[in-house]
Amino acid sequence: MISVLIADDHSIIRDGIKSMLSGHNQVMVTGEATNGQEAIDFMDLHNIDIILMDISMPLVNGIEATKIITGRFPSTKVIALTIHEQHDFIRQMIQAGAKGYVMKDAERQELLNAILSVYEGKKYFSDKALDKLTSGTKDTSLLTAREKEILRLIAQELTNQQIADKLFLSVRTVDTHRRNLHQKLDIKNTAGLVKYAIQAGLI
């Protein structure tokens, strides 16, 4: 079972999320928090796979809580579940370490898809979030089709070996493509490549 913690300061929202997730054979809500500090305290005592994190909460907001939790508990994945669809909120949550961003008006299936995708090591962004992120989209015309494909997989946090296995390439070839991406895009690290891939609409 995928254990889920709901962090939201409105009980009616927490109850609604629990109702949406109830009955699924892979997902189980195992905790609730009414603010970011409670979420951090809960994590000190329990192992949780996924946190559905609101942004606007008292004491410690969702952005700060996400930074702390992803730093202390790297195996726990955070999905922002919020009403905020502004670009700045999305960017801050990604920088804090969130692996997904879903709006509170999402249907049950989308929320489940987000949880399952993030649990499997992928990222998940709602259509609204993607629209905001890709406004002013980066130009990828200088990249080859193979480089775009590898950039997309890097952004999904696959290792060079995993990318090589997926594309039937040697690890050395993937490493060469990765170096070329850094040089072409003038980006120093993997986090920069992930940000570029999001802005380019590749994920």
What is the CATH number that goes with domain 145-199? 1.10.10.10
Q: What is the mean pLDDT of residues 71-88?
A: 92
Task: Note the pLDDT of residue 9.
Answer: 96
Determine what percent of the chain is predicted with pLDDT higher than 70: 96
pTM greater than the 0.85 cutoff: no
How many CB atoms within 10 Å of residue 45?
A: 8
Give per-residue pLDDT as tens, 138-151.
667 778 889 989 99
Give per-residue pLDDT as tens, 95-111.
899 999 999 999 999 99
Domain boundaries, the chain: 2-133, 145-199
Q: How far is CA 183 from CA 71, 79, 89, 163, in A?
A: 29, 32, 29, 19
What is the identity of the amino acid at 164? A
Give per-residue pLDDT as tens, 32-58.
999 999 999 999 999 999 999 999 999
- Domain 2-133 CATH (choose: 3.50.4.10, 3.40.1280.10, 3.30.460.10, 3.40.50.2300): 3.40.50.2300
Task: Note the pLDDT of residue 133.
Answer: 66
3-state per-residue secondary structure call for the chain: CEEEEEECCCHHHHHHHHHHHCCCCCEEEEEEECCHHHHHHHHHHCCCCEEEECCCCCCCCHHHHHHHHHHHCCCCEEEEEECCCCHHHHHHHHHHCCCEEEECCCCHHHHHHHHHHHHCCCCEECHHHHHHHCCCCCCCCCCCHHHHHHHHHHHCCCCHHHHHHHHCCCHHHHHHHHHHHHHHHCCCCHHHHHHHHHHCCCC
